[in-house]
A and B are shown apart, each in its own frame.
Chain A
Amino acid sequence: MIPLQIETQISFGGFDLSVDETFSLAGITALFGPSGGGKSTLLRIIAGFENAARGRISFGENNWQNQDQASFVAPYRRGVGYVFQDARLFSNLSVRGNLEYADKRSGKLSSSITLDNVVAALDLSSLLQRQPGSLSGGEMQRVAIGRALLARPQLLLMDEPLAALDFKRKAKILPLIEKLPTMFDTPVIYVTHAIEEVMHLADGMIALADGRIIAHGPIDDMLARNEVQSIIGRFEAAALVNATISSHDKVFRLTELDCAGTRIKMPFANLKIGSKVRVRIRARDVALALKRPEGTSIQNILPGNIAEIIEEKDTAFAEIIVDIGGARIRARITRKSVAEMKLAVGTAVFALVKSISFDRRALA
Chain B
Amino acid sequence: MRLIINALKNVWTLSAYRWLSVSGFALFFILYLMTLPSSFTGGQIGWIALQYLDLSMVILSFIMALLVAFIMTLMVWLIRQGQKSSKASATGGILVGIFAPVLCCSPIIPIIFGSMASLLPSFIGSSGPLFQGFIATHQIELFTIAIILLLLALYQNAKKVIHGNSCHLK
- Bound pair: A and B? no
- Using a CB–CB cutoff of 8 Å, the interface residues on chain A facing chain B are none
Chain B positions within 8 Å of A, measured between CB atoms, are: none
